[in-house]
């Protein structure tokens, strides 16, 4: 970390910053589940073993789905929540391994993105009331996170780091052509995920999944969650139309 007596840049909090664990969940949702996959799946076949883990950025949680139909929602870093699972023996051990393996994968992928410069980190150093300061990306692997919910960590030199927040950094523009703000493949994948989860939208479906406008609103929220912004109405309609055409082509 930065030496205590050195002059360090102070940074004003920015509304575009996201709490640490929110950024990790959103990175997974936008990147590792962006190709139409809606969850992490496992090959455990017997009835009381987990079949899949869904990742929910909004609630910072996993939904653990078992082969026998049970569903348990939990936060992967809170081991004490395992007391509420009401499963024991081999099933509990396998579920525990599945959750920790998925969580570790998410952390490793996020760490790789930080090292690549895709995210900038900020935190309060030494004192909970101190101004925010940038954290060098090569310092991230040396931080031991003590509380994921509040972004509290300990540096390699023993100093406390408080309120870690993350800012998504725009990728460097390529010399040829301009990278679009929104990724059509990501949008196609999200539409596929929604159709697998809810089926075709229509008048007989639940509120919020009855019309194309409902689908467009969900995609707008998805883009806001994953990129920090949403397109204009006409642009959004074009993206959704192309996504629907891609989904229809899957059936041919």
CA distance 238 to 194: 18
Each residue's pLDDT tens digit, 113-148: 999 889 999 999 888 888 999 999 889 999 999 999
**pLDDT confidence bin for 8, thresholds 50/70/90:** low
**pLDDT confidence bin for 176, thresholds 50/70/90:** very low
Each residue's pLDDT tens digit, 73-110: 889 988 666 665 666 677 778 888 888 899 999 999 99
State residue 82's pLDDT score.
64
Q: Kindly tell me if the per-residue pLDDT of 174 is higher than 50.
A: no
CA distance 223 to 228: 7
Give the phi and the psi of residue 218 in degrees, each rounded to 5: -65, -40
User: What DSSP line would sit under 133-184, residue for residue?
Assistant: EEE-GGGGGG-EEEETTTTEEE-TTS-EEEEEEEEEPPPPPPSSS---SS-H
CA distance 48 to 68: 6
Instruction: Name the pTM for this structure.
Output: 0.65
The mean pLDDT value of the chain amounts to: 82
Summary count for the chain: helices (H), strands (E): 5, 10
- The two tokens of residue 56 are 């929910």
- The two tokens of residue 235 are 């642009």
* Sign of CA pseudo-dihedral 38, 39, 42, 47: negative
The owner of tokens 């026998």 is 68
* Closest among 100, 139, 149 to 119, alpha carbons compared: 139
CB 29 within 8 A of CB 57: yes
């Amino acid at each position: 970390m930065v030496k205590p007596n050195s002059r360090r840049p102070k940074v004003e909090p920015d509304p575009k910053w996201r709490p640490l664990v929110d950024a990790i969940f959103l990175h997974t949702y936008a990147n590792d589940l962006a190709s139409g996959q809606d969850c992490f799946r496992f090959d455990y076949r017997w009835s009381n073993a987990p079949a899949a883990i869904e990742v929910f950025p909004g609630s910072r949680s996993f939904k653990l789905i078992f082969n026998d139909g049970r569903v348990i929602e939990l936060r992967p870093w809170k081991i004490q929540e395992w007391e509420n699972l009401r499963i024991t023996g081999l099933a509990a051990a396998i579920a525990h391994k599945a959750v920790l393996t998925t969580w570790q994968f998410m952390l490793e992928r996020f760490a790789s993105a930080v090292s690549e410069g895709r995210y900038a980190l900020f935190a309060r150093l030494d004192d909970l009331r101190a101004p925010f300061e940038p954290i060098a990306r090569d310092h991230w692997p040396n931080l031991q996170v003590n509380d994921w919910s509040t972004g509290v960590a300990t540096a390699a030199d023993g100093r406390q780091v408080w309120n870690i927040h993350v800012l998504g950094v725009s990728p460097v523009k390529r010399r040829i052509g301009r990278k679009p703000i929104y990724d059509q493949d990501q949008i196609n994948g999200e539409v596929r995920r929604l159709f697998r989860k809810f089926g075709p939208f229509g008048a007989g479906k639940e509120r919020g999944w009855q019309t194309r406008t409902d689908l467009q609103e969900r995609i707008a929220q998805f883009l806001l969650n994953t990129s920090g912004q949403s397109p204009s109405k006409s642009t959004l309609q074009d993206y959704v139309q192309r996504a629907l055409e891609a989904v229809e082509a899957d059936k041919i």
